[in-house]
């Protein structure tokens, strides 16, 4: 087999680059086999467009230096590369729009003067802006202002040992608001060390106490093991937060994907005895919830979820059949648990999500707003794929800052009510 010429190799590389860029704008939802590859390609491209320009520029420079422009395929490749760069610049611009979109979502429900309700000591930290130096190495998660205490056991019954990590400011503030983060992974994989780190390090650097907990995974431990462990983590945080400088009177919950589902479900089912075996008397209520790209309906009653989700849930997560045990699927669905006493919610979802369609989030927000007496904010992030805030990016920075402002307003309101 003949080896392709250098111009042809450059053309192949350029076509790959263009396909990555196009997929970031229009990810493939169908056929089902394309969904996951499309997600990964779109995820990395839409969150790291400037990095993509850099690698394409380096590759082009190497090809050109070696003589790739000696024939017409090389010139076509150069044209495609320049076209790809135009798209990548647009993707960076789209990511920057997250600041305006999230701000508008907060103004819509909190009012244009909501910032005036943020305490002065928190307002300076809550100012929007992107520290571009931190985005150069998007997968570097260390922050010099934050210390991490790892693998604290929060439940141990002989066979089962569950652990969590605690993120706090090195200044060790006292009375810090608390955030509990639950990782994603389709309920069957994932770990506390892998997700939510940009959000937790950001908040901890601003004086928050952040906790991220592991939970049992399916299919070895079918649902509801996951929500039981999430509630165990809430109970532990309320009992031990003060030991780390946290305020147990204000505990918010967050998570992404499966973690977003668990965060929403935990927030909507406080003190549920069935899901608190052996700790029925523990307080598992939370002050606010910020679920990211969560799954909100296990029954897919409106046909807005992923087509393959039902089979996956039946085989691997609940290990039950929907048509035989619908009550179990409804009980596990945040959409079916909305009510007037729900805490404040800030629901965040990417418009380009190929794994959990954004239409499901829209319906969940509508149902929540119709039922709840509390504030329900919703930010639909343009250009964002599933799992967009796992590492540092322009979009991550703006969304995390908006979440901090939302929680700061909720906390200020809670303090006002407590002082009356």
Asked if 292 contacts 348 with a C-beta cutoff of 8 angstroms, the reply is yes
Q: Is the peptide bond before 83 cis (omega within 30 degrees of 0)?
A: no
What are the φ and ψ backbone dihedral angles of 67, each rounded to 5 degrees?
100, 25
Could you confirm whether 281 is annotated as catalytic? Answer: no
Tokens of 33: 């086999």
Catalytic residue among 60, 257, 287, 372, which? 257
Query: Across the beta sheet with 161-169, what order do the strands follow?
Result: 146-156, 161-169, 209-213, 176-182, 246-256, 288-292, 345-350, 376-381
Q: Among candidates 133, 127, 181, 184, which has minimal Cα distance to 386?
A: 184
H/E element holding 347?
strand 345-350
Q: Is the peptide bond before 43 cis (omega within 30 degrees of 0)?
A: no
Could you confirm whether 353 is annotated as catalytic? Answer: yes
C-alpha 311: how far from chain center? 24
Q: Can you tell me which residue has the tokens 């807005």?
A: 304
Q: Is the peptide bond before 31 cis (omega within 30 degrees of 0)?
A: yes
141/87 Cα distance (integer angstroms):
28
Asked if 296 contacts 258 with a C-beta cutoff of 8 angstroms, the reply is no
Under 8 Å CB-to-CB from 356, ≥6 apart: which residues? 257, 293, 294, 295, 305, 306, 349, 386
Could you confirm whether 297 is annotated as catalytic? Answer: no
Q: What is the CA radius of gyration of the chain?
A: 23
C-alpha 340: how far from chain center? 25
Phi-psi region of 369 (alpha: psi -120 to 50; beta: other; left: phi over 0): alpha
Catalytic residue among 353, 372, 393, 398, which? 353
CB-CB neighbours of 99 under 10 Å:
19
Q: How far is CA 230 from CA 164, 247, 291, in A?
A: 11, 19, 14
The per-residue DSSP string of 14-56 comes to HHHHHHHHHHHHS----SHHHHHHHHHHHHHHHH-HHHHHHHH
Catalytic residue among 52, 261, 349, 386, which? 386
Active site residues: 257, 353, 386
């Amino acid at each position: 087999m003949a080896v392709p010429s250098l111009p042809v190799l450059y053309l192949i590389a350029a076509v790959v680059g263009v396909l990555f860029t196009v997929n970031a704008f229009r990810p493939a939802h169908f056929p089902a086999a394309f969904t996951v590859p499309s997600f990964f390609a779109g995820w990395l491209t839409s969150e790291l467009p400037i990095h993509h320009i850099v690698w394409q520029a380096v590759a082009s420079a190497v090809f050109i230096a070696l003589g790739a422009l000696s024939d017409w395929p090389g010139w076509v490749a150069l044209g495609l590369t320049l076209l790809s760069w135009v798209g990548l610049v647009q993707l960076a611009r789209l990511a920057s729009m997250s600041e305006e979109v999230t701000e508008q979502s907060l103004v819509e429900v909190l009012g244009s003067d909501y910032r005036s309700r943020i305490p002065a000591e928190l307002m300076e930290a809550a100012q929007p802006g992107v520290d571009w130096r931190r985005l150069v190495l998007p997968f570097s998660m260390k922050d010099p202002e934050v210390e991490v205490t790892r693998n604290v056991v929060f439940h141990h019954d002989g066979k089962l040992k569950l652990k969590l990590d605690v993120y706090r400011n090195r200044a060790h503030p006292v009375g810090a608001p608390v955030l509990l983060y639950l990782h994603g992974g389709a309920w069957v994989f994932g770990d506390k060390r892998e997700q939510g780190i940009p959000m937790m390090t950001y908040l901890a650097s601003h004086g928050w106490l952040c906790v991220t907990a592991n939970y049992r995974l399916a299919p070895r431990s079918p649902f509801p093991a996951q929500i039981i462990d999430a509630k165990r983590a809430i109970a532990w945080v309320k009992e031990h937060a003060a030991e780390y400088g946290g305020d147990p009177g204000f505990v918010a919950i967050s998570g992404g994907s499966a973690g977003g589902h668990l965060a929403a479900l935990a927030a909507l089912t406080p003190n549920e005895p069935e899901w608190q075996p052996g700790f029925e008397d523990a307080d598992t209520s939370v002050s606010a919830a910020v679920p990211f790209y969560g799954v909100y309906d296990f029954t897919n009653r409106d046909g807005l979820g992923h087509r393959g989700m039902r089979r996956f849930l039946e085989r691997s997560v609940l290990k039950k059949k929907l048509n035989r045990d619908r009550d179990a699927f409804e009980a596990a669905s945040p959409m079916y648990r909305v009510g007037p006493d729900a805490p404040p919610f800030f629901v965040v979802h990417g418009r380009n999500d190929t794994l959990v369609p954004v239409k499901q989030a829209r319906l969940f927000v509508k149902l929540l707003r119709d039922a709840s007496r509390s504030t329900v904010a919703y930010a639909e992030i343009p250009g964002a794929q599933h799992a967009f805030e796992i590492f540092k990016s322009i979009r991550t920075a703006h969304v995390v800052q908006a979440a901090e402002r939302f929680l700061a307003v909720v906390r200020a309101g809670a303090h006002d009510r407590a002082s009356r």
